[in-house]
Amino acid sequence: MRVFDLRSDTITKPTKGMREAMAGAEVGDDVYREDPTMTALENRAAALTGKERALFVSSGCMGNLIALFVQAGRGKEVLTASSSHIIGHEIGSMAAIAGTLPITIDVPRGILSAHDLEGRVKGGAYDAATTAVIAVENTIGGVCYPIENLKGIRSFADAHHLNVHMDGARIFNAQVATGIPVKEWASWADTITFCLSKGLGAPIGSLLCGSEVFIREALTVRKMLGGGMRQTGILAAAGLYALDHHIERLADDHRHARMIAESLERSGWAQVDMEGVETNIIFFTVPTMETQEVLDRLKAVGILANTEGSVVRLVTNLDISLDDTLAICALIEGMEMTR
């Protein structure tokens, strides 16, 4: 039985071309900042985001943690949506390691506006934590942040002397879906991370981008966290290959997600968040079944899925072709979800 893995876009394998680029990479010792391929990748990331400098980190989680460590730190607060990745999937690292207190805000789809931030900024009282950072995530749950919201948040942050950090793990999905360049998205934040290991298909790594002064501090924190790596050019080569070859093809993932979502809607047994299928992520429920039972039924026919709270999540990716998508749609429409 063929198995289609839709648990995440992190499960992709390096392509033949990417493996060849990795094998042929020129390398050096990156702790001494002497790896030429890594330097090229970091320069590319800085240019793409419009920031002064960039720093390679092992994961988006590390990048987000470093950003909060440097810009907030002990006894400071970060304002963020309660459904954001830094709250739900980074095991409390901002509090446990950076000493930063998260202040969460319940908002639809995890998308903040300046209005949601009103009255939440603290400062000046010796017995209260000071608000330092606003953190946003783009895309969040596959949904692109409205640019007007980001503009409003930026104005709010400037008025209150706050920094803005963008968890841009899937920011290139946002670029492809909206036509808004990454540089434009990033311009509304002081710092931004983006992942190479999700839709772009690299095996590891993220980039943290910001000002020259910020990245100098971030480099020290990365070392503190054990992130000083040596011949990183092998990994950087994969990232450069991904940026050269795997951005425009994200549109395929978006089309495939829409096709699968439409099949789920036609199935009669799934309730699908069609409005939220803007990029490569699909959420649905089966009202008559528990989530785990749905996962088991899908697995039985060869579809691997994941959960996000009480809903089922499917994520299209580099390893799912059009033919694969058509096969998945046929499986879904041929299934019965009854007890």
Question: Nearest 5°: CA angle at 10, between 256 and 237?
Answer: 110
Are residues 294 and 198 both part of a single domain?
Answer: no
The tally of domains found in the chain comes to 2
Q: Which residues pair with 133 in a beta bridge?
A: 78, 163
Per-10-residue mean pLDDT of the chain, 339 residues long, equals 96 98 98 97 98 98 98 96 96 96 97 98 89 98 98 98 98 98 98 98 98 98 96 98 98 98 96 97 95 96 93 98 98 87
Q: What is the pLDDT of residue 190?
A: 98
Are residues 167 and 269 both part of a single domain?
Answer: no
Are residues 309 and 233 both part of a single domain?
Answer: no
**Under a CB-based contact definition with an 8 Å cutoff, are residues 131 and 162 in contact?**
yes
Listed residues 197, 222, 245: the one ending a domain? 245
Model-level pTM?
0.97
Q: What is the pLDDT of residue 308?
A: 86
Are residues 266 and 195 both part of a single domain?
Answer: no
Are residues 214 and 264 both part of a single domain?
Answer: no
Over its C-alpha atoms, the chain yields an Rg (Å, rounded) of: 20
